[in-house]
Structure 1
Amino acid sequence: MTFAKKALILGAASAVTAGLAVPVIAQSSSISGAGATFPAPAYQRWAVEFAKETKKQVNYQSVGSGAGVRQFHAGSVDFGATDEELQEKKGEFTAGAAGKRGALQIPMMGGTVTPAYNNPGCKNLKLTQAQVADIFLGKIKTWDQLKCGKGPITVAHRSDGSGTTYVFTNSLSCFSPEWKSKVGTGKAVKWPVGVGGKGNEGVAGLIQNTPGSIGYLNQAFVKGKITPAAVQNKAGKFVLANDVTGAAALNSVKLDARLGGEDCNPAGANSFPIASFTWVLAYKTGNGAKTDTIKQFFLWGLSPKGQAIAKQLDYVPLTGAVLARARAEVAKIGK
């Protein structure tokens, strides 16, 4: 798919989900969700195609995983979305509305988080895991140090609470003891260096408009002047993020009873080392007249058509046992 076609599709999705020129429909046929920016292009494209087929409306607000979980706990949305699994030990399955109505966590697709840059003087950048950490620690300050181009490096990172940040910093904590001790893992961290942008969209905008910059993005946002860097994996191979290397990584992740699971540095010669599932959060009860629409939308996303769209937009589609478990979890959503 060309960038122009992707832009047209995502633009159409944004228009539809923003409520522009949408006919009035029954409340039971209209649902709203909010959360991760990571999967937003897929959810918004799904909403467009789902509406065409069913005449039912899905409004997805790309506000970041942190805000999505908060809205889910507040009960202000029909579903939430996050790139960081909910934590039992933090009480995230029992907080607020989730505790009253029951919480389900359903993987919808996978994705990679890749270092990405804008430097015409640097072609085919290859980074060791230590180098990735040192760039974001501010220890590597110039492109000369990477032996790829010239001039200072501008680091771009997220300014909002973000599952993408959680996935990225979780891997950096595995890559670098210094990162783990000084910065650590989280949806929001105290960055040693750099400028912040809101959402994957904001970071992509910073990189796009700043020659000499490098940041981290979900693979689906790497386009235009933005180039992905190859990263050395646990097996010592330099690999680029794509659906094949992402699938190799995610296939090594074991999901628990709540369908949560992660690996900060997955094994395998073809694995991209920074990869994660992304989940929707649903209520087991209290969905009322919207129950069927919620279940129908999730199952549509988990259908061959929905997963093919995810792959088309540079996500990693679910397969095999994970896909079967996700569909079985959707069946638990009740009125």
Structure 2
Amino acid sequence: MKKVSFVNSTMNSIKVAAVTGGLLLLVAGGVAQAQKLTGAGATFPYPIYSKWFSEYSAAHPGVEINYQSIGSGGGIKQVTGGLVDFGASDVPMNDDQLAGSKIKLIHIPSVLGAVVPIFNVTGVNDLKFSPDVLADIFLGKISNWNDGRIAKDNPGVKLPNETINVIHRSEGSGTTFIFSDYLTKVSQDWANGPNRGSALNWPKGIGGKGNEGVAGLVRQLPGSIGYVELIYAMQNHISFGEIKNAAGNWVKASIAGVTEAAASVKQMPADYRVSITNAPGANAYPISSFTWLLVPVKSADANKGKVLKDFLNWMLTSGENEVSALYYAPLPKSLVDKEHATVDNLH
């Protein structure tokens, strides 16, 4: 009897263990599935996002964050259509876009960066650009590198008799928005013409896809000028110019210059949508910007929402410590504290 009782007891234990194990596998399978997040959008922050997502996944087994660097316009389209778990953009969404989104979204500033004018001019490594000159080059009003207005800003530089080839983005782009937002503020002709936007009716030029495409075309084409996020110029060893800022000083893109531009925001809006181009400050770099993650206030999948919320808090602490190595500027501490409070209210 004792032997039979022992066998029955053992069999019952096995059944319980099997059922429990099965449930655990089901739960684990559900969580693992929920932890595969997808995002899409801006190329401007792609180098740091790629690093962050890889590091976060490595520290959180079972979590995968797949991000497609397709441009801010594509990111906005995909996240508002509910096709990805989060988006990314260098241009803040407007009121109509937010109202038309299938899901309620909030902007979360992730990092600060600089857009720089890159160039490939024969025999020239350093150039200065006054705001009006830069605008008129992209408007097509200045078409040769030895133009007198460029020479005036660059005394002593031997400028070649070389045609200027303008390179711009071919798709909807937050980098284009930042660049055109700046030009609209400093040039009335630009404001009356292309104006600001993520996709423009360019007066002239050749289109390249992504920051990568623009950088590649400028490297290949003598006499060319384009605009990219700072790290793309650094990684591709492409010369980029100094710009005269709002204080009248010549400045080259730097982490310190971007940080000073960000400091010009005395009161951050509750929705974090703000422009810092042409900011005041003796050393402020004028083509600086925040870039944003576009995050659901309430995720359709609760498990994904938890992972996304945890990642955002990780980004604002551990992640921000790594940005300078990739030529981005970290967020101000006061802003990080404000964002933590916002993230805590996500669902």
What's the TM-score once normalised by structure 2's chain length? 0.85
1:45 matched residue in structure 2: 51
Q: Distance in 2 between matches of 1:187 and 1:313?
A: 24
Q: Do 2:34 and 2:301's aligned partners in 1 also have CA atoms closer than 8 Å? A: no
Q: Which digits, 9 at most, give the CA deviation of each residue in 1:37-80, with x for residues without a partner?
A: 11111111111111111122111110111111111110011101
Q: Do 2:113 and 2:258's aligned partners in 1 also have CA atoms closer than 8 Å? A: yes
C-alpha displacement at 1:302, in angstroms?
1.4
Opposite residue 312 of structure 2, the aligned amino acid is F
Q: Distance in 2 between matches of 1:259 and 1:213?
A: 35
Unaligned runs of 5+ in 1: 1-24
Within the candidate set 232, 245, 248, 1:236 is matched to: 248
Q: Which digits, 9 at most, give the CA deviation of each residue in 1:152-185, with x for residues without a partner?
A: 1111100100111111101101111001101111
Q: Distance in 2 between matches of 1:30 and 1:68?
A: 18
2:102 matched residue in structure 1: 97
- Kindly indicate whether residue 118 of structure 2 is the aligned counterpart of residue 106 of structure 1: no
1:13 matched residue in structure 2: none
Within the candidate set 42, 55, 76, 1:36 is matched to: 42
Q: How many corresponding residue pairs?
A: 305
Secondary structure of 2:258's aligned partner: helix
Q: Distance in 2 between matches of 1:257 and 1:315?
A: 23
Which of the pair has more CA radius of gyration?
Answer: 2
Q: Do 2:36 and 2:65's aligned partners in 1 also have CA atoms closer than 8 Å? A: yes
C-alpha displacement at 1:120, in angstroms?
4.5
Within the candidate set 253, 260, 266, 1:248 is matched to: 260
Q: Distance in 2 between matches of 1:209 and 1:182?
A: 29
Aligned CA-pair RMSD: 1.5
- Which runs of structure 1 show a deviation greater than 4 angstroms over 4 or more consecutive aligned residues? none
Unaligned runs of 5+ in 2: 1-30, 152-156
1:155 matched residue in structure 2: 166
Q: Distance in 2 between matches of 1:217 and 1:211?
A: 17
Within the candidate set 228, 239, 243, 1:217 is matched to: 228
Within the candidate set 69, 72, 85, 1:78 is matched to: 85
Secondary structure of 2:98's aligned partner: coil
Opposite residue 79 of structure 2, the aligned amino acid is F
Secondary structure of 1:92's aligned partner: helix
2:182 matched residue in structure 1: 171
Q: Distance in 2 between matches of 1:193 and 1:77?
A: 34
After superposition, where does 1:177-326 map in structure 2 within 5 Å?
A: 177-223=188-234, 224-253=236-265, 254-285=267-298, 286-303=300-317, 305-326=318-339
1:7 matched residue in structure 2: none
Secondary structure of 1:113's aligned partner: strand
Q: Distance in 2 between matches of 1:36 and 1:195?
A: 20
C-alpha displacement at 1:94, in angstroms?
2.3
Opposite residue 271 of structure 1, the aligned amino acid is A
Q: Which digits, 9 at most, give the CA deviation of each residue in 1:111-151, with x for residues without a partner?
A: 11111112241132011111110110111111111234211
Q: Do 2:121 and 2:222's aligned partners in 1 also have CA atoms closer than 8 Å? A: yes
Q: Distance in 2 between matches of 1:76 and 1:225?
A: 36
Greater share of residues in helix: 2
Q: Distance in 2 between matches of 1:181 and 1:275?
A: 22
